[in-house]
Amino acid sequence: MTDARAPASRLGGLKAHLKAGGQAFGCFLNSGSPSVAEMMAAAGYDCLMIDAEHSPIGIETMHAMATAIRSGGAYTLVRVPAMDPVPIKLALDLGVDGIMAPAINSAAEARAFVAACRYPPEGHRGVAVPVIRASAYGFNAADYIREANDALLVIAQIETARGVAEAEAIAATPGIDLCFIGPHDLSASLGHMGQPDHPEAKAAIVQVEGAVRKAKRWLGTIPTASRAADRLFADGYELVLGSADLALLREAVRAQVERYKPAPRSS
């Protein structure tokens, strides 16, 4: 029985939203700022992806950010640095709603990812339910043990030429819920660095889209110059991460400096 003092569980809320046919708009978080995370959640994003792959965010900062995101009213996603059971375990113990592993290149890697995300007998995730944030520090232990495996949104990132070739097998792996296409790494892998809209990259993306739809999995990605977020949603993507907190800040400060900073006076 759940302790009456325990916070209400939102376990599986994001996954249930997608199962009901919903779509989710989110943003990457690279700044490592809990205040920024809370503000962006309050702004109305459905979910926010803490990016531990391309930022100096460690587990203690991630903990503070996850708490802030929940306070702001959004769902928490984490991209771990690599498909490694240790950072996966630490992130899951924080009670995140979904987790993404970068550069999944085969069905074997996808199976290993799923196993790292699940408690036995379905996987090998370490068990510390009485003391982790995910179970409200044990107050919701029974509910969490019962629901955790199925409630988590497991996201495999496909972003290499090899991943494209193996996309059908990756997407069909039991336990993979969503495949997230990374157009920048993918285009670089194909020999077109900085050209996510290169025709070869576009063709590879179409191939992945077909493989994921065939497997009846959800699709996610980021916008590019040729496909804005609204176009991606119209094309049937379930998850779109529109930008990153540091990118939004960069453009805002650049615009303000360009508009208001006085020009140098001529001598």
124 is a catalytic site residue? no
> In the block, which residue shows the tokens 């978080």?
29
Q: Which of 17, 54, 124, 184 is catalytic?
A: 54
The single-letter code of the amino acid at 147 is E
As given in the structure block, the two tokens for residue 94 are 């924080």
Angstrom distance (rounded) from CA 32 to CA 64: 9
Contact between 133 and 141 (Cβ < 8 Å): no
**Cβ atoms < 10 Å from Cβ of 202:** 16
Contact between 180 and 232 (Cβ < 8 Å): no
Q: What is the DSSP letter of 12?
A: T
Q: Cβ neighbours of residue 118 under 8 Å, at least 6 residues apart?
A: 124, 125, 148, 149, 175
Contact between 99 and 78 (Cβ < 8 Å): yes
CA 49 remoteness from chain centre: 5
**Residues involved in catalysis:** 54
